[in-house]
Amino acid sequence: MLSSLLLLAVITWPPGAQIIERASVPSPHGHRELVLWMTNPTRHEGGESYCGTPVHGDYYEGAPHLSLIDPAAQRLINTIDLPASLQIPFKVSNQYWHVENAAPKILHLRDLTGEGTPAQFPLFQYSACGLVETSAAGYSAKLDRARLYPIQTRTRLSTTAAQLFAVKPIRPGHWDFTWGPGHGVDDRIHERVHFDAARQLFLSNPEFAPNPNLPKDARIIEIAQIDGAPHPRQLLLWMNNPTYFKPPRDDYGAIDILYGGRWSGPAHVSLIDPTTSRVINTIDLPKDIPIPEVAHRYGYHPLTTEEEGPVQVLYLQDLTGEGVKGQFHFLEYLNSSTNETRAYGYSPSRDVVVPYPIVTKGKQSWSFPVIFQQPQARPGLWHFIHQGDHGDDSTYDEHVTFDTASQRFLRTVRIPRR
């Protein structure tokens, strides 16, 4: 104990650092120690009990960090930031945390990854009555680093997940459970999670039980929260009895770069009131255009930094300039260098989900090459120059704006003289 205290004194900690806990961790690289500490923490105790009390109890509030130390070399290996909103309890019940002698032991190490070494611990943050956001932190022997473990789903890469680490795994590194958010929301979510040791992250494959107001054969592909809507709103991308296709590696064509592993079948987007599960309205997506799941990063929004990986169709942006991140682009393969682009999403003035028309010289269409894959000059405005292809050597100067009154995109194009 004395040598450990002397080691902590040798290492230079930032001003205001307060050590909360430390724990030795098994390692093939020699002796390692995890140190949980905070910057200028404030102490909160007492107060009226409510449904969040079992999560945080009496707690410290401040910037939390986790450091890995090599005691033999008397050196700090690395430090990571833990979730900034994390409240670290010093007195709490054992509903979520491991408690010894009436005090929680945050660094109660266990094998959360299934790699055979008790080197990780869960973290819990109050979300709503009966609901917690969870994280996994600890020591990665593969990286020889302290780590806040990422959790990758098909629609996001994050370091938190609702309920996950509050549920007992079926075996180390593997979870299979069903839960529901409640609070007036009838959705049930079946989670299957496992740890990918090669990439040092958790892979989650949630399946959403059909909304009671959707057809019985509906399979929910993605859910996205609309940011900035005047009322709570979600977009649901769903399909009727879809089939999944994964192109073989030895026959990977240009169309497979865009769509990759994909779902085929009738596809729809519904606007949902998440407080009641009410379907406000539904639109159909074009027939015979698949929904990608794992593809190359050049078409849809990638969820990893890898060249090929999970992509997100409902990557919501403010395409209209109305101050609401509620629209997304949809792509149709045209040729090896060009895609038809469409815009769909939430119309805040009408409180419905709509397809957005594009008007060029008075002629209306529902798709146009290139546009929505180009970066915006600002929300609701594009100005870009692009070259024709496949025998068309013209240069096109495109200008696209959104007209709020008519809820249409207005496109002008100029072909500069050579």
CA distances from 150 to 69, 196, 303, 324 (A): 22, 10, 12, 28
The region of weakest confidence among 41-45, 136-140, 180-184, 251-255 is: 180-184
Contacts 24+ apart (CB under 8 A), 44-50: 44/87, 45/90, 45/91
The region of weakest confidence among 99-103, 238-242, 250-254, 281-285 is: 250-254
The answer, yes or no, to whether residue 29 has pLDDT greater than 80, is yes
- Percentage of residues in the chain with pLDDT exceeding 70? 91
- pLDDT score of 391: 65
Residue ranges with strand state E in 97-204: 99-100, 103-104, 120-128, 131-140, 145-148, 151-152, 157-158, 161-162, 174-179, 189-196, 201-204
22-54 b/e with 16+ CB inside 10 Å = b? bbebebeeeebbbbbbbeebeeeeeeeeeebbb
- pLDDT score of 6: 46
| H-helix or E-strand spanning residue 327 | strand 327-335
CB contact at 8 A, 356 and 310: no
- Give the contacts of 6 (CB within 8 A, at least 6 positions apart): none
Nearest in space to 255 (alpha carbons), one of 286, 222, 284, 288:
288
| Mean pLDDT, residues 393-408 taken together | 90
Nearest in space to 15 (alpha carbons), one of 71, 60, 62, 83:
62
- Percentage of residues in the chain with pLDDT exceeding 90? 51
Give the Cα separation of 283 and 237 in Å (integer): 10
The more confidently predicted of residues 369 and 286 is: 286
CB contact at 8 A, 205 and 222: no
Other C-beta atoms lying within 10 Å of the C-beta of residue 316:
20
pLDDT tens readout for residues 160-207:
998 999 989 999 999 988 887 665 455 667 888 999 999 999 999 887
| Cα 372 from chain centroid (whole Å) | 22
216: left (phi over 0), alpha (psi -120 to 50) or beta: alpha
| H-helix or E-strand spanning residue 344 | strand 338-347
pLDDT tens readout for residues 55-88:
999 999 999 999 999 998 889 999 999 998 899 9
- pLDDT score of 209: 60
Phi, psi for 112 (deg, rounded to 5) = -80, -20
Give the Cα separation of 66 and 245 in Å (integer): 42
DSSP letter (8 states) at residue 378: B
pLDDT tens readout for residues 258-312:
888 889 999 999 998 877 778 999 999 998 889 988 778 778 888 766 777 778 8
- pLDDT score of 191: 86
The answer, yes or no, to whether residue 119 has pLDDT greater than 60, is yes
Bridge partners for 368 per DSSP: 341
| Mean pLDDT, residues 355-369 taken together | 92
Give the Cα separation of 13 and 318 in Å (integer): 43
Give the Cα separation of 115 and 98 in Å (integer): 21
Give the Cα separation of 12 and 35 in Å (integer): 13
Mean of all residue pLDDT scores within the chain: 87
CB contact at 8 A, 354 and 347: yes
- pLDDT score of 39: 94
- pLDDT score of 417: 62
Q: Hunting for tokens 């979600």 — which residue is that?
A: 234
Nearest in space to 137 (alpha carbons), one of 191, 91, 194, 83:
83
Residue ranges with strand state E in 10-95: 17-25, 32-44, 58-70, 75-81, 87-91
Q: How confident is the model at residue 2 (pLDDT cuts 50, 70, 90)?
A: very low
The answer, yes or no, to whether residue 139 has pLDDT greater than 50, is yes
| Mean pLDDT, residues 106-120 taken together | 96
| Mean pLDDT, residues 343-362 taken together | 95
- pLDDT score of 418: 59
Q: How confident is the model at residue 390 (pLDDT cuts 50, 70, 90)?
A: low
- pLDDT score of 310: 79
The answer, yes or no, to whether residue 210 has pLDDT greater than 80, is no
Q: How confident is the model at residue 405 (pLDDT cuts 50, 70, 90)?
A: very high
The more confidently predicted of residues 139 and 230 is: 139
- pLDDT score of 3: 44
Other C-beta atoms lying within 10 Å of the C-beta of residue 215:
12
- pLDDT score of 187: 61
